[in-house]
């Protein structure tokens, strides 16, 4: 009996070890894989792409994509190589995955306009669903056209499609690196796009001569988008949310460049429900985060919003909230080293809470008369504003918190409480004429 029990225990131990090994094999992150036996290899017959950077592989690759679409879906695999194309590759059906080997698989467009890859139907997003681009590098051999209004260039363009995923993609040299939704369209034309573990930049973007118009990633319209764990090195705008695009979740994303660029993240148009969480936004020359009039239900939380230095133009602010915005929340961020205000708000229904604002209004560091109207946290006009539990300190600001009317717009219905401004300018200055207010329990 004892021998049987020992044998049983040994069997159980072996079985558990096997289960654990299998479990580890299942959950361990995989590297870039070679083509599977069921994949469509763009270099294999009958497609026979060359991938030498010289031959035009447009027809070969598009034929491979069409074959996957005709089969109801499949993986179109790009072995290591440099694939030159002369016109846009189109995915217009379902369940197609374009997959490469990372930076070893480069698809480049030999023209200054249009998209390298375009995912979407011409009329109905329900006709193009569950597609993916994985581990591909997107580039172009001709400098992008500088006219983004009439002759834009795109790395990957997604419009009139649903359930699209971009994973591990690298996009270079496009006015719009990744474009989501139909520009100037107010309908629900595109839905459920996920961008993760990707990189969007310009070759040589650290050079001051490489500034491009457009944005690394733009959401024009549609809804329900997620951008996560992605690195952007912009030369103009990092992320732009425009039109009626809404339901956008941006997290764990870094927007930074040591060379000149203008805006980190822009919320424009009339979209709503936009969340910026756990991000790093740094070194924009104007605003790190710009929330334009018309935006509503925008949240910026748990992020570093700063500058790697104290340089930049005299317009650099951390977060600018314009007149006409509504239901904005700025919570638990660290904002520092801005030339002017860390937060400058003119909106309605604004909540600013739990932030650390350190060493802002550095424009005044050499001459205190440079900006005599700048406070680290400045509220002008608007109504229903709550400012609470913020820690504000700077050697250069006029006041830690300044409260003012904005011309004909009275600041009214506001609560300013439990803030520590003891190491800033003159603490709190309340010059607003609104009478429905509470300013109490501050240091």
* Among 378, 399, 374, 430, residue whose Cα is nearest residue 439: 430
Q: Which domain holds residue 314?
A: 78-440
pLDDT(287) > 70: yes
CA dihedral 242, 243, 249, 252 (to 10 degrees): -10
Total number of domains in the chain: 1
| 354 Cβ neighbours under 8 A, 6+ residues apart | 331, 332, 388, 389, 390
The answer to whether residue 1 sits within a structural domain is no
Q: Go through the chain and tell me how many residues it has.
A: 443
Which residues have C-beta within 8 Å of that of residue 59, sequence separation ≥ 6?
none
Each residue of 388-400: pLDDT tens digit? 999 999 988 889 9
Q: What is the pLDDT of residues 395-440, one digit of tens each?
A: 888 899 999 999 889 999 999 999 999 988 889 999 999 999 999 9
Q: Is residue 71 part of a domain?
A: no
Residue 125 has pLDDT above 50, yes or no: yes
pLDDT digits (tens, 9 = 90+) for 310-340: 555 567 899 999 999 999 999 999 999 998 9
- Residue-wise pLDDT for 145-201, tens only, equals 888 888 999 999 999 999 999 999 999 989 999 999 999 998 899 999 999 999 998
**CA quadruple 65, 67, 72, 78: dihedral sign:** negative
Mean pLDDT of the chain: 88
Residue 99 lies in a domain: yes
CATH of residue 143's domain is 2.160.20
Contact 276, 300 (CB under 8 A): yes
Beta strands in 8-66 (DSSP E): 40-41, 52-56
pLDDT level of residue 3 (50, 70, 90 thresholds): very low
User: 260: buried, middle or exposed (CB in 10 Å: 19+, 13-18, 0-12)?
Assistant: buried
Whether 41 is in a domain gets the answer no
Evaluate whether residue 62 is within a structural domain.
no
In tens, the pLDDT along 19-30 reads 333 333 333 333
**CA dihedral defined by 329, 335, 341, 344, rounded to 10 degrees?**
-10
Residue (of 67, 144, 156, 40) closest to 107 by Cα position = 156
Helix or strand or coil: residue 226? strand
Name the one residue in this structure whose structure tokens are 């011409």: 122
């Amino acid at each position: 009996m004892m021998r049987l029990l020992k044998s049983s225990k040994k069997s159980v131990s072996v079985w558990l070890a096997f289960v654990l090994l299998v479990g580890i094999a299942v959950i361990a992150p995989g590297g870039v894989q070679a083509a599977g036996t069921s994949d469509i290899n763009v270099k294999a017959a009958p497609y026979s792409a060359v991938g030498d950077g010289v031959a035009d592989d447009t027809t070969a690759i598009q034929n491979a994509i069409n074959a996957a679409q005709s089969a109801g879906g499949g993986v179109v695999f790009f072995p290591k190589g440099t694939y030159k194309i002369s016109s846009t590759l189109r995915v217009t059906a379902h369940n197609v995955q374009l997959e490469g080997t990372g930076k070893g698989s480069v698809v480049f467009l030999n023209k200054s306009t249009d998209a390298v890859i375009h995912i979407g139907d011409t009329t109905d997003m329900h006709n193009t669903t569950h597609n993916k681009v994985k581990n591909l590098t997107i580039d172009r051999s001709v400098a992008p056209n500088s006219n983004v209004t009439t002759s834009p260039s795109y790395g990957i363009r997604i419009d009139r499609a649903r359930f699209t995923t971009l994973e591990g993609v690298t996009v270079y040299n496009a006015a719009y690196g990744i474009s989501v939704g139909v520009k100037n369209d107010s309908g629900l034309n595109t839905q459920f796009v996920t961008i993760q573990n990707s990189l969007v930049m310009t070759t040589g973007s650290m050079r001051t001569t490489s500034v491009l118009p457009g944005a690394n990633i733009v959401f024009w319209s549609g809804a329900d988008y997620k951008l996560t764990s992605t690195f952007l090195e912009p030369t103009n705008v990092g992320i732009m949310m425009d039109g009626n695009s809404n339901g956008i979740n941006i997290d764990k994303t870094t927007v930074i460049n040591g060379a000149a660029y203008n805006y980190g993240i822009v919320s424009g148009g009339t979209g709503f429900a936009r969340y910026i969480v756990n991000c790093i936004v740094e070194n924009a020359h104007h605003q790190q985060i710009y929330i334009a009039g018309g935006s509503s239900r925008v949240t910026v939380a748990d992020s570093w919003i700063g500058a790697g230095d104290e340089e930049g133009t005299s317009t650099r602010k951390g977060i600018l909230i314009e007149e006409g915005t509504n239901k904005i929340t700025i919570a638990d961020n660290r904002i520092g080293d801005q030339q002017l205000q860390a937060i400058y708000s003119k909106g309605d229904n604004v909540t600013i809470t739990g932030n650390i604002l350190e060493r802002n209004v550095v424009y005044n560091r050499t001459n205190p008369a440079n900006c005599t109207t700048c406070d680290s946290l400045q509220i002008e006009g608007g109504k229903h504003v709550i400012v609470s539990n913020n820690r504000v300190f700077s050697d250069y600001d006029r006041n830690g918190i300044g409260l003012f009317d904005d011309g004909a717009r009275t600041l009214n219905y506001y609560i300013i409480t439990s803030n520590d401004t003891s190491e800033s300018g003159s603490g709190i200055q309340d010059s607003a004429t609104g009478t429905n207010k509470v300013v109490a329990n501050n240091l």
